[in-house]
Amino acid sequence: METVTVTSQSYLTFWLDDELFATSVADVSEILELSKITKVPRAPHFMRGVINLRGIVLPVVDTRLKFGLEKIPDTVDTCILVLNLTIDDQQIVLGAIVDSVQEVLEIDAARIQPAPSIGSRYKSGFINGMVKHHDQFIMLLNIGLVFSTEELSILQNTSDQESTTHS
Amino acid sequence: MDHLQGIFIAEAEELIASLEETLLQFDKDRTNKTFIETIFRSMHTLKGSASMFGFESLSALTHELETVYDLIRTGRFTATNEVLEVTLEAIDHVKKIIRDQAMQDPANRARHETLRTAIAGLTSVARGQQSNTPAGVATFYVHCRPHANVQLKGTNPLYLIEDLVSLGSARVLPHLHEVPPLDALDPTGCYTGFEVFLASKNTLDEVQGVFIFAEDCCDVTVEKIADSDLLLVPEFIQALDIKPFGAAPFGLPAIRHLVTQALRAGVTATAGAPAATAPAPAATSKNHVTSIRVSSDKLDELLNLVSELVTSQAGLTLLAARHDVPGLANLAENMEKISRRLRENAFSICLIPIDTLVTRFQRLVRDLSKELGKEISFSAEGVETELDKSIIESITDPILHMLRNCIDHGIESPAEREAKGKPRQGNIRMKAFHSGTSVYIQIADDGKGIDAEKIRQKAIAKGLLLADTVLSEKETYDLIFKPGFSTAEQVTDVSGRGVGMDIVKRNIEAIHGEVSIASRVHEGTTITIRLPLTLSIVDGMRVRIASSEYILPLTAVDKCYEIETHKLRQEHAQKIEFDGDLLPVFNLRQVFHEDEPRPDITQVIKVQYDEFPVGLAVDAVVGEYQAVMKPLGSFYENREEFSGATILGDGTVALVMDIHKLVRQLIDENRLLHQH
């Protein structure tokens, strides 16, 4: 009699600065400790370099810089999310450096609130929605868009300092 | 059965390709008998296997063609243009019906009938021609082992050979395997036997007659082994030539085997291709396999395994250097040598000479120039130059496209050429050669050339260029590769839809190649393609800049110099004197924005860039490294100065520099710096 629709999905949450973000676990294939990253000279500043992932050369993005946050020294909690994304019909594997990972959460679709279009720090489109969890707002990221965008920062209306310091 | 038919199709396509190639060669040199023989044999094999696998229509058609070539072969008919035309058409047709043997496509069926009539027409003409050469050359095998005391009986075996050779053309193989060491040698004794392959019009009896007075002092075998002149079959000669002088005689059974094999091999082997894989000298020529067919998947797998081995081996070397275990260093060194050889071997397997493409190009030039009413000759130089099979696959279409452009737009019509005082016949030359880490392929025509000014105007008109931009000649010609650019004033069937050259460029860049154009109005256009030798492993020099390691392809490295760091200015580029010459030096530390403390000594590596040498300043030279190339991925696709990355023995990643592109970028950047 009853029709049950699966409306909840698993999300991985992680910290960047003082904000908690979440991405669907389907996009994350593994979490790595920070290892030696080989710099690629003359690449965009948010591209930290490449690492060896079991014989595959994996590009690594400094998510803080991509998000327009300031650069901080790496800590023991700093880690790399290995993301498996489909961008423009292309399967792309990349590493995203985040401050720390928090947990895997089951989030009910009904609890997701739309991202505020006004007053948000981030440009619309990059945030799929928000969820309140233990008094903390979690930003659900459209991670494919974040890493396929040509834009240097996804911050809304910030000064262009990030792009000017680097060109 | 499907599987077997698949094999047949693969084999037949190879046969057809070689047949086509030989036909085109024959077209140029109609007197060459070897070509006719090869053509005839190819057709014969094709016919045989087609009927065996149930391709009846194909078999019937080739049978009729074979008849024509049999007539030509025996001198009862001459190969006219018409014959060649029909044959080439028939071969195109065969290519189609091999995949549509029931001829469900009505077009195929119709053409099939037309062709059969055309071929039948040829045969009836041929039968009408009077034949006057009943040439019946046969090949005989003579094995003669004079008894040890033959000379005491007054017979000189050498005279026997001379008599034999005078009967026709011959090949004599001496057998020295019984010759004893000098101290045991009896100077009056005869230790040598010989085998003679004689192509002669004489009968068996006449050949045997040579030995009539020597029968009691020699063991003689005379046997007819073929009804044709085997000495004209290169495969047969090759099989004979690989035998060392000291070896025992072939013996009749082995020879018979060789004959059938040579005749068969003559068909499958691509005629005219260089004997790239020299057959190993087999002690007995029984299982004489010169090449085998391997699926390319297996080769790819082999290369992957070799790459993994090379990477693991680097780990082993590192481990051996760190731990002082007796014998380990030796073992690691040995492993390194073996893996290097294995690597070279595996890669050479995957190299294909450019030759394999030439037939397609020749065919295109021939057909298209006829269609457009132009007279064009096509020549290819350096076709033995080898490239990785994956590279060959990716450059075929771009080159075909460029050739089409040459024929359609480059070469003028005969009348136009005569008016300009040029020979009626246009010329397209393809030239392939090695230089450093690259292979170059040049396609040059002597057509009307491209007017740089016209390109400029057109680019401006199309909005690709601002009217006041100053461009060098090279930059102007590069505009041709911009998307949406086509110089043809009229769009023709053949080329000039405005798509093409940009795709050509993109395809070539996808395999780390480059393409450029140079042209002189009324003199012609030259297109140069630069391609990397192989995509997967490079021999490199490992260098360090600040805390990162890089690989420079060893083939580009010329020499290393040491200088004190304080003599190097903190600039991107400067000129420093080495060995009495001023060398432009790029300080990679500066270029890569590394600001860690500098070491006291800096290494300057002299590399070859295009026509002049350039120095690259790095912190240290670490050593040699076999770099297994890994792609950097789409996030770094704009970083052209790095052709990829490799994994070092300790598991970290090092970037592999594309010296050519890096230096070119640096030169461009510095030109800009000086302009400002």
What spatial distance separates the first Cα and last Cα of chain A, rounded to whole Å? 63
Residues 590-609 of B with CB under 8 A from A: 591-594
Cα nearest neighbour of A147 on chain B: B635
Tell me the pLDDT tens digit for each residue of B121-165. Answer: 877 776 665 433 345 678 888 888 888 887 777 777 888 888 888
Residues of chain A with Cβ-Cβ distance to B645 below 8 Å are: 38, 50, 57
Quote the pTM value.
0.53
**Which chain B residues are closer than 8 Å to A59 by Cβ?**
632-633, 635-636
Looking at domain B363-532, its CATH superfamily turns out to be: Histidine kinase-like ATPase, C-terminal domain (3.30.565.10)
* A159: confidence class by pLDDT, cuts 50, 70, 90: very low
Residues 6+ apart with CB under 8 A from B25: B32, B35, B271, B272
**Orientation of helix B56-73 relative to helix B33-52, angle to 10°:** 160
Fold (CATH) for B537-675 = SH3 type barrels. (2.30.30)
C-alpha separations of B641 from B95, B228, B617, B618, B656 in Å: 44, 60, 16, 16, 9
Residue B275's pLDDT is what?
Answer: 41
Please state, rounded to an integer, the average pLDDT across all residues of chain B: 80
Residue of B589, B628, B636 to mutate, testing the A interface (most A Cβ within 10 Å of its Cβ): B636
Q: What is the pLDDT of residue B604?
A: 92
- What is the predicted pLDDT for the residue at B130? 41
Residue B502 sits at φ, ψ, to 5 deg, of: -70, -35
Q: Which residue has the higher pLDDT, B594 or A100?
A: A100
As a dihedral over the C-alpha atoms of residue B332, residue B334, residue B340, residue B342, rounded to 10 degrees, the angle is -110
Contacts of B644 in chain A (CB under 8 A): 57
Six token digits for residue B183: 């101290």
Chain B: nearest CA to A37, how far in angstroms?
8
Q: What is the pLDDT of residue B442?
A: 92
Give the per-residue pLDDT at B606. 92
Under 8 Å between Cβ of B331 and B319:
no
Quick check: B246 and B283 in contact, CB under 8 A?
no
Contact B459, B452 (CB under 8 A): no
Q: What is the mean pLDDT of residues A48-68?
A: 87
Please name the residues in contact with A101: beta carbons below 8 A apart, sequence gap of 6 or more.
Answer: A12, A13, A14, A15, A31, A79, A81
CB contact at 8 A, B233 and B239: no
Q: Give CA separation, B277 vs A112, B269, B274, B345, in Å.
A: 68, 11, 9, 12
* Contacts across the A-B interface (CB distance below 8 Å): 66
Q: Is the CB of B661 inside 8 Å of chain A's CB atoms?
A: no
| 3-class SS string, B271-324 | CCCCCCCCCCCCCCCCCCCCCCCCCHHHHHHHHHHHHHHHHHHHHHHHHHHHCC
Whether B247 contacts chain A with CB within 8 A: no
Of B566, B557, B558, nearest to B587 (Cα)? Answer: B566
Nearest CA-CA distance, residue B551 and chain A, Å = 13
Nearest to A59 among B636, B651, B652 (CB): B636
Listed as own residue / partner, the contacts of A69-76 with beta carbons closer than 8 Å and 24 or more positions apart are: A69/A16, A69/A17, A72/A99, A74/A34, A75/A99, A75/A100
Gyration radius of chain A over CA positions: 16
Binary contact (B647, A61; C-beta < 8 A):
no
Percent of chain A scoring above 70 in pLDDT: 80
Strand ranges in A37-153 using DSSP code E only, listed in sequence order: 47-53, 56-62, 79-87, 90-98, 100-108, 127-133, 136-141
| Tokens representing residue A2 in the block | 């009853």
Give the CATH H-level superfamily of domain A9-166.
Answer: CheA-289, Domain 4 (2.40.50.180)
Name the helix (H) or strand (E) containing B539: strand B537-545
Domains B138-268 and B363-532 share a fold: no
Between the two ends of chain B, the Cα-to-Cα distance in Å is 73
Whose tokens are 């119709």? That residue is B110
Measured distance CA(B176)–CA(B194) in Å, rounded? 9
pLDDT of residue B73: 79
Determine the distance in angstroms separating the CA of A7 from the nearest CA of chain B, rounded to an integer.
34
Q: Out of A40, A51, A90, whose CB is closest to B655?
A: A40
Domain boundaries, chain A: 9-166
Quote the longest CA-to-CA distance of chain A.
Answer: 63
- For chain A, how are helix, strand and coil distributed in percent, rounded to 5? 15, 45, 40
CA-to-CA separations, A124 to A33, A115, A130, in angstroms, rounded:
31, 8, 12
Using a CB-CB cut-off of 8 Å, the residues of chain A touching B652 are 36, 38, 52
Which 3 state secondary structure label does DSSP give B353?
A: strand
Sheet with B168-175: list strands edge to edge. Answer: B168-175, B193-200, B138-146, B218-226
Nearest to B433 by CA among B378, B490, B380: B380
Chain-chain contact of A52 with B653 (C-beta, under 8 angstroms):
yes
Q: Give Rg (Cα) of chain B.
A: 32
Q: State which H helix or E strand residue B575 sits in.
A: strand B573-578
CATH classification code of B138-268: 3.30.70
Stretches where chain B sits below pLDDT 70 are: 1-3, 126-136, 243-247, 263-289, 436-437, 486-499, 534-535, 672-676
- Token digits of residue B635: 């996030």
User: What is the model's pLDDT at position B664?
Assistant: 85
State the CATH class of domain B2-128.
Answer: mainly alpha
In whole angstroms, what is the distance from residue B667 CA to residue B673 CA? Answer: 10
Q: How many residues does chain B have?
A: 676
For residue A145, the surrounding DSSP H or E stretch is helix A143-148
Break chain B into its structural domains and give their ranges.
2-128, 138-268, 298-350, 363-532, 537-675
pLDDT score for B57: 80
